[in-house]
Each structure stands twice: as structure tokens, then as C-alpha cells.
Structure 1
């Protein structure tokens, strides 16, 4: 039996005396004592729970079947039946009912196992979440086994918890559901820890990117030359590179390293120590054939081979891998930007 899918399908099914539409054979009993006529064929086709209820034997003396749907407003039951009869959820045409009875429809679709309507209710409620009503929706999402909606509620709580704390729903939850309160607070703590880890990872990644840029400038200075530092047998002299700030700072560091009065005790000079670390880090990721033009590269490579397996050498290798990975990521990001630029330029032509 085909169910009409137009907006007036429910009304047409309830029209008595039509030749192609049978008379209603079941009564839906609501909390307000109202009895709504319906068709068992339609209800059984959209809900396994309703089908099971309809298969139960009737009470003696009862002339027609009845199904109680209690605990929700009568108008919400009517809206639920309209969705069942239409066999779809048209959020455009039925947005008013979804907005008004969304919570009740979620409960009914969960209880009667109407999957497509439950998913539509979850999506509709998620779009309308506010700090004022998120606690109520969260409790319902947990009871109705709606993990997607539950997670959206938790994310809103974490984002705007100061506003949620001022609501009456939150105070009621604190007084009557301490387990859910503990669950929420645990989620907020975990979210804060995740945010801190992401921030720390971004900061570390920024340091690795800076080191990668410094090593590129170091290679550039001793291979091609740049402004005041580098080979002097090239004509014409090169202009400052694109990474002027990093390159210029590294040149000052190189000049200091070469002329420092503490050459015999460079470990006590912070600027010389920094330059020493940059040179050692370069040697850890250098893939140039010997002799490399960067000073001390060969010596550091030999020393690293002698210290292989020791804790200090392992730490340097780990740092070198992270800096090398940052260089690769930077190169890929640069290539992607260039490709997007070329595509944009080609499209504009």
C-alpha cells in the first residue's frame, strides 16, 4: 500500500469514505485524553515497535485497536503522526513543527524506532542549540542514545560554559544529577587538556620551522653568499634573500662567532653556544657530499659517528628529524600556495 508523500498526506488518509483510502482502524490515545484515528498499515510500515503493538491481541469487548502515546503534548503526537504519514522529514515545510516539538519528536522517534526521523531531529536540534537550552538537550541526547547530538552539546558547553552556568537548567542538574555534572566537568577538563596540547604542539612546530629556516639560510650564506657574509668570489654580489630578518640575524651571529674574545671558552658565551648548536644541527641533517661548505660540518659528522647510540646523540637525531619534517611540510605548503596562485592566475586569464 503506497503512502502519500505530499504535505496533506495525513489529512487525506484520515478522510473517511474515499474509494482508494480505507477507513482508520486504530486509535492513538494521547495524554490529554484525545483520540486520534490512524491506519495500522501505515504505522506498522514505518515503526517496528508500533507493528509489534498492533500485533498484540485486543482486549475483550474492545471493538478497535488503540495505542497509547503518553507523556508528550497532544500536538506533538499529531506532528509525529504527520511525519510518519509523509514517510519523510521535510525540514523546509515542517520547520515550524520541528522547532516547536523537536525534543518531543526525538523522544518519540527513539521510543518507536523511526530512524530517519530521529536523525532529522538530531540535526534540527543541533542547529538550534543555545546556552540556555543545551543542558536539557544534552540530558535527552544521553537518554535517547544520540551520540552525535550529545557531542555537539558537550562542545557548546565547553565553548560557552560561563553562560551555561548561569542557567536554571544547570542549577537543576547540579541538584538532581551529580553523575551527569561530573561527566560534563570531566569532558571540560579533557577539552582543556587537548587545547593545551594543541597549543604546545603549535608552539613546538613553530620552533622547528624557525630552526629549519635558519638552516636554509645557513646553507644559503655559505654556498651562495648573502650581503656581508659568504663567498666573495661571486659577481655580481647577491641582494638580500627573501628571509631577510632570519638571514641577517644569522650573519651577525656568524660574525660574532668568528671574532668572539671567548673563542677558547665558547661554551660560556651564549651567542657562540647558539651558533655552535646551529652548526651541529646542520650537520645532523646535511646530505651534501664532503667537503660541505658550511664550517665544521665534517667534524660534527665524525663526532656524531663516534657518539652513535649515546643519549646525547639520540636527542640530537630526534631534533634533526623533527626539523627535517618541518622543512618538508614548509616545502609542501609553499608548493601548494604556488599551485593555487597559478590556478587563480590561469582562471583570471
Structure 2
């Protein structure tokens, strides 16, 4: 497919991930590398967050109708972030080539038992194009899945362009609702995969027991003690032992998964809520550290992005489990942790408009490079 190269190299990327906390958006100038001109965010209302979480779980009445309404509400948040980006930057609508709008993942089952699979993101890209007056690129995962891939993670190719260094292996760990690791090899080879739960289980437990959407700085977890029998049971989940390529989501790591494990260990079921939070934090730290040890190819620097990079206790635990590895935020390399994924989807929109592949088959397992995304013209 031949696609005309856009006249502008300004793109907007929008990301609402498995943390379900809201939308992050960036306006990116790709004329000379990757330069974020503006960042904006918009938190989800409690009602929308609850509905998106409910739609992650099979069953429920009138799901199709509710999903369509939730997609429209999500796009209202997207449009608000786009407006903030344009107003704060002084950039006109017609100067932006496209918006990369990932949508909200509510099912991710790329490989079912019969060899087929699917990934489903709630979105209303036609509505976003109407409301913003800007071309929208959406549905960024399904072509990779159709080609036999996991459809995730899609950000390692972007990580390589921004953080990769010739002659040195660099590791990039994104901790959103789910954690994923990019291994940027010294030889230019790239590997990437999901490690397991990032913030999803921690945030859910925190909201249920404290009313707060997340454990600010990890202070609540730091006040508890790790329940080793529970931790070892959680780490026995077969997903952790699988070899890449692999991806996961709330389809596996959800409240019922945790509840079942708690019920199997009397000590854990009767433990203080802070102790369970400490254990869930250790689960994320331990599974991420294990992925680095097994697949990090001798990398000595780990750059962390996503909301987890702001959890000081989690960062300290990861660093303590990886002696000899320098653990720090991507901010040290010029891109703040809450801007990385949104910038990646701006980059994917750019790839789509230029008719260039957005996936890495070595990462996703797809049969080959594919142009990702569907285009909704302004």
C-alpha cells in the first residue's frame, strides 16, 4: 500500500492504559528526532472508570450498548486532551498530521486454543475525527494479531528509536496496569514482552481498601510486610515461566485471580490489607526483576516509564532485586515517564500514514512486518 507522506510531522498520541486512571496525551514533533512539545492529561470520572473495569469482565447485561456508550465517553476525554494540547502549544488543528488513538483494551486474547485470537479496544475514532477535525489512526493492534502475533507490546520499536544506543544493551521497563520490558540489544536486535501485572492489582486493592485510586509513592505498601507464602503462590502463575513472545492483561490478572489465591492461604486471607498491598508490590517488582535477569542480555541500565516509575517504594524494590543494574526513570533520558507510551502511539500513527510497519515480528511473533492501524480522515 502506498500512502502519501503527510505534509506535517506534528502528531498527537493518546494513551489510556490498563491502569484505568485516565488519558495521557502528547503533541510530538518528529522533524528532528522525537521532541514532545506539550503534554496534557485528563482523569477518568469514577463512573467511567468503574464501567471500563466492569467491561473487562465477561458477562453482564447489555454489554454491547454499554461498551458503545463507554467508547463515546472515552472519546470525550480524548477530545478534551487534544483541545488542551492545541491551546497550550498554540498549534492549529490543520498543522497536526494525525492523532494516534489506541483506545481502551477490554479484552486481549491473541491466541485461543483453536489458533485464532483477538484483541479488543473500546474506541470511537470516527467520532474523535469529527470532534477534533484531525485525522485519526486507531485499531493499532488487530493487524498484528491477524498475522499471528500477540498484538503487544507495540512500543519496543519506538523505545529503540528513542533510547537505543549502539554498542550498549539498554532495558526499558514500562509499568502501567501491565508491565512490559523492551530489551534494546547492543547489536541492534530488539526483544519485548509483557512481564505480568504492573499497577493493576496494586491499584485495585488500594481503591477497595482505602478509597484512593493508587498507593501514592508506595507508602502504604511500605508500611506492610510481604506475605511470602502468598507471594510464592502468585509467582507460580504459569504466565511468568512462559518464554517470549507473550502478552497479557486484565483477562488474567484481575480481582478474582487474586481473591482465589488469597482464599487458598488462610494466613493471607486474615492478613492486614497493608500486608497484601506490600505483597502485590513485591509481585510486580519480583516478576519485572526476573524478566530482566532472564532476558536482559547483560544490560546495565534499566529505564522505567509509566505510572510505576512514580512509585518510589516499587522503584526501590526493583533496584534492590537487581544489584549491578542502574535503575532510573526515562526522564533522565529526556522523556518523562508519563509521556513515553503516548509518544509511542503518535509514532505509530506516523508509521501508518507513511505506509511503514509498526510492529517488530521478533517481539510480537507475527509472521512479518505489518502496517498497523485504520485511518479515519479529518
Give the TM-score range, shorter chain: under 0.3
Structure in which a larger fraction of residues adopt helix: 1
Task: Give the structure, 1 or 2, with the largest relative contact order (CA under 8 Å, sep 6 or more).
Answer: 2
Structure in which a larger fraction of residues adopt strand: 2
State the TM-score, normalized to the length of structure 1: 0.21
State the TM-score, normalized to the length of structure 2: 0.20
